Amino acid sequence: MKVVYFGLIALLVVPAASAQAPVEDLMSRDQAIQRGQQQTGAAYRELQQAQYEAKLAEQDFLNAQEAQRAAQQRAEEMKRQLDAAKKALDEARQKEALARKRYDKALNGVDRAFQRPSAK
């Protein structure tokens, strides 16, 4: 009878022990799913933040690129203005030199007129 009694106890204990294992497995599975969902949520938020920062960086890059183009165009316009001013300066100096030569020639003519003796 003891053998039957131990057999019955064994039959009752083994299923009871195995019945608790699935509950623990279910709880650890639920916890694993919850942890996975939390990690997925955190990773998704990081992805969204990274996408947002990349969008901002791209806009900053495009703004800087446009500013560089505008500055380059402004520099080219300033170079054209500088070249035109240099040309105008060169022309003005050349005109001044010609005027100085005419003035010197006229002044020399007056000096020569004063140096000639009168024909009286």
Please report the DSSP string for 6-28 in residue order: HHHHHHHHHHHHHHHHHHHHHHH
> Is the pLDDT score of 59 beyond 70?
yes
- Dump pLDDT digits (tens) for 64-105: 999 999 999 999 999 999 999 999 999 999 999 999 999 999
> Is the pLDDT score of 21 beyond 80?
no
Integer angstrom CA distances of residue 46 from 42, 43, 50, 52, 56: 6, 5, 6, 10, 15
Q: In the 8-state DSSP scheme, what is residue 116?
A: S
pTM: 0.51
Domain-by-domain residue ranges, the chain?
25-114
